[in-house]
Structure 1
Amino acid sequence: MAGEASEVVLSKQDLQEVTAFAAACAEAVLETFEADQPHDSRPRDAVRAAWEFAQGGERGKSLRVTASAALKAARSADSAAAREAAWAAMSAAAAAYLHPLAKATQVKHILGAGAYAARAVELVAGDDRSIGVAHLKGTVHRATPVVVDVLKRFPAAPAGGGRVGELIRTLDAELRSLTRAE
């Protein structure tokens, strides 16, 4: 059928590497959320579930439940930076559910946590976009060769998505430009 996306082969190890990358990205901004909502552990719980899967756990209910809870925590945040940090945590837990479809929209499962984290640091810095771009440099260094390889199996990130979409596309381009030796 015309318009159908082809399937991308993804192993459990691929999904675990992508999830570990996303968890590390989100973990870097958990304190932003916790400074805003010190008694709310939902984003931290989502990152913990992502790490458990990344380190050999099963892809199951805990990831879905904690991702959903982190999304709800984002809605209760008082600041935009805290909301973005909670979305990074939600994205970390959701990374385990990267779909094996060659669609550009799937890139957000790989890079969403990194982009939301970069947006959170921008907002903490008074919406200084140069801070977000600088943060992405560290995010690029977190990506393992497996993460880059998985990303390259998918089409480039799609247009749209506001500032987070811009950050996803920037991160996508940076990672795609890496060679195997890097």
Structure 2
Amino acid sequence: MPAKPTEPDTIELSTEELQEITGFAAECARRVLSIFERSLPDDSRPRDAVEAAQAFADGGRRTQALRTCGWAAYKAAGEVTGEAAGGVAGDVPGRAAAADAARAASHAAAAAYLHPKASAHQVKHILGAAAHAARAEELVTGEGQGATGQTLEWARHHAPPAVTAVLGRLPAAPPGGGRVGELIRDLDTALRA
């Protein structure tokens, strides 16, 4: 029996594509920064992550500071909900939305570190900021899935060519991930259409 063809382990990924993808992710996250800042106005970690991501998108270098900003925004997401202290995200109204806004910022910074691996997991790095931004808006409005339709539609219409080109080199978004995973898969499907 002939051997089954295998998928490549890596994909082509240029610096210019990384910059376009990161700029897109930064813009998605920027749309919901105010949600986080209403909950913690003195915490600049998510804004710092978005600004660092934008600096890379504008031609800056990938530095340890960019990575540090991304991790700091991720940490802020856990702290705003009390998860770091064993709390529950729904304890305080608006805190869960603020956490997703911070996660969007973290994903924006992380987009600069997308790997040239032919892995479905990489789709999360490309679309994670958009999905978390959509979830933040969904939570803060209380309108459910109708609220995310606008955010995902915006992301679909504003995705630069690099986003769709790189998604086309990757397997489809993986299953799982709760509501944010659903949003990633919805956007992935729309961008590939």
Interval containing the TM-score (normalised by the shorter chain)? over 0.9
Map of 1:95 onto structure 2: 111
Which residue does the alignment assign to 2:23?
Answer: 20
What letter matches 1:37 in structure 2? Answer: L
Which residue does 1:180 correspond to in 2? none
- C-alpha distance in 2 between matches for 1:113 and 1:122: 14
Q: TM-score, normalised by structure 2?
A: 0.88
Q: How many residues align?
A: 176
After TM superposition, the runs of 4+ consecutive aligned structure 1 residues lying more than 6 A away are: none
Matched, 1:146 2:162: yes
Match of 1:63 among 66, 74, 91: 66
| Rounded Cα–Cα distance in structure 1 between residues aligned with 2:180 and 2:108 | 15
Percent of aligned pairs sharing the same letter? 57
| Structure-2 residue corresponding to 1:36 | 39
Shift of 1:127: 5.2
Distance 2:143 2:131 in 1: 14
- Which structure 2 residues correspond to residues 68-83 of structure 1 after superposition, within 5 A? 68-78=71-81, 79-83=95-99
Give the whole-Å Cα distance in 2 for the aligned partners of 1:45 and 1:34: 12
Moved more, 4-13 or 115-124: 4-13
The runs of 5 or more residues in structure 2 that have no matched partner are: 82-94
1:67-120 Cα deviation digits (max 9, x unpaired): 010011111214000000000000000000101010001000100000000000
Helix, strand or coil at the partner of 2:171: coil
1:175 aligns with 2:178: no
2:175: which partner in 1?
Answer: 159
Q: Distance in 2 between matches of 1:127 and 1:14?
A: 35
Shift of 1:4: 7.9
User: Equivalents in 1 of 2:107, 2:20: separation in Å?
Assistant: 14
2:11 corresponds, among 4, 8, 12, to 8
- Structure 1: runs of 5 or more not aligned: 178-182
The CA distance in 2 between the partners of 1:48 and 1:62, in whole Å, is: 11
Match of 1:114, SS state, is helix
Which amino acid is the alignment partner of residue 97 of structure 1? Y
